Amino acid sequence: MTGDKRRTESASTVTFAPTGTPPPASPVEAAPTPARSTDGALVARRQAELDRQEQIALLLRFRSFLPWVVCVWVAFTIVDWTVARYISPGPLTPFLLLRGGFTLVLLYFILRIHRRPPIGPREFRILELGVFVVASVVISIMGLFYGGIATPYFAGVLLAVVARAAIVAQRWQAGLRDYSAIIAAYPVVFGIAAVFRPGIRDQFADSAALATFAHNLGFLLGAVAFVVVGSHVTWSLRRQVFETRSIGRYRLRRCIGRGGMGEVWAAHDETLKRDVALKILRPERVNDEWLERFRREARATAELTHIHTVRIFDYGASEDGIWYYAMELLEGETLRERVSRSGPIPAESVRRFAIDLAGALAEAHARGIVHRDVKPENLFIATIGGERDVIKLLDFGLAKTEAAEEGLTRSGWIGGTPTYISPEAAAGKPVDQRSDVYSLGASLYFALTGAPPFDATSIGGLFQAHMHDAVVPPSQ
């Protein structure tokens, strides 16, 4: 695909929200997918995709790690109590206030990385680094109440550095900048305190206390040197993994779509030397029902040869158990994207689309295959062999065959998209080829008018409208 054209699969996912960019109209967040470009543009797009993948992986690591950070941070209240009670007798209140305040900061960060809208990469980087800098400040302030510039609490700053290194892998330049900011809080806090607290100022004049302070700072600098190098090595190895991922004979290039069942990647077939779109079953979806659905989609589409049905080249499982199927990589946009971008489509073009798609469905129906999810997002307007506006039928993920198992296609199970679902499907009744014809008509209505046939405010309302209401003619 070229330019701003996209290949999409109907799906839903949780991803980073690009800063300043509204979410896409379709449920999938699809990335630009160039089929042919200059080397520089291709490298830039690949770099952007690698960065995005790393950001997503980092977000997931923080989601997993932060609850443990909160537990450890709160557990160190016992250390504060030991200090205030036995080691350096004094009030426990300052420790409790500081520890409680930073606990609230951690909880806010946890909530922010879980809630909608998804956090943007820039905001995430600022919050992530800010949390560790604030932790260093809080721990250093605690040190004012226990030992001053010679405080053993410098080890708390050391723990913050190590904790971040366990989560974040980054280039050495970025690591040096970030970790310098974290440990800089330690001398800065004591430097400011020396201005306002005579006791701290006197410590800087004491050679033993000053030597201990320098000793502690040296340990912090040494730790930063180690974690910067280690973090860079880890980052390099992970980047190599991202760059060299392959499934069977297919080398993955960039993710162009995600959904409930899997991901779609632009990939290169190393054997036949051609670009393909590779749909991969997500590992967490590998159970009997989802695997059968995935196989059924691949088999159903592979049987079809109509020019207006997306072509399947290959399907199977890799040596490490990842299920996939390879299909043609299309250049263009979905019907929904075309209407959203340009408005209603002229009647003559819609008539041609109707004939082409009816032919694609007729072949599927003749083979006993019912699509069950015909909608604008699954109708792709492509450029093929220099010919523009070639309509393609996509995504047989909900397809059923006449021989489908009872457990997978049963009466009472509602499959499809509510806005374009047929009346019998809305009622939970068995569906047949006529359901596809209805959904195709509803999709073409959208193409002609720029709006779906019914616009209820709830799923139940849409079901009722499909079953009982009359459609306003497009001419009106």
Catalytic site positions: 373
Tracing tokens 């951690």 back to the chain, one arrives at 106
350 φ/ψ angles, rounded to the nearest 5 degrees: -65, -40
Q: Which two tokens stand for residue 418?
A: 């509510």
**Residues 331/4, Cβ–Cβ less than 8 Å:** no
Strand partners, 276: 267, 328
Judged by phi (left if over 0) then psi (alpha if -120 to 50, else beta), residue 428 lies in left
CB 35, CB 2: distance < 8 Å? yes
Q: Burial letters for 375-401: b for 16+ Cβ neighbours within 10 Å, e otherwise?
A: bbbbbbbbbeeeeeebbbbbbbbbbbb
Task: Quote the crossing angle between the two packed helices 121-144 and 172-196, to the nearest 10°.
Answer: 40
Under 8 Å CB-to-CB from 370, ≥6 apart: which residues? Answer: 364, 399, 400, 401, 431, 432, 433, 435, 436
What is the 8-class DSSP label of residue 310? -
What is the token pair recorded at 359?
A: 């032919």
Single out the residue of 28, 37, 38 nearest to residue 7, CA to CA: 28
Structure tokens at 199: 């006791």
Type of residue at 75: A
Please count the CA atoms within 13 angstroms of the CA of 49 that sit on its side-chain side. Answer: 22
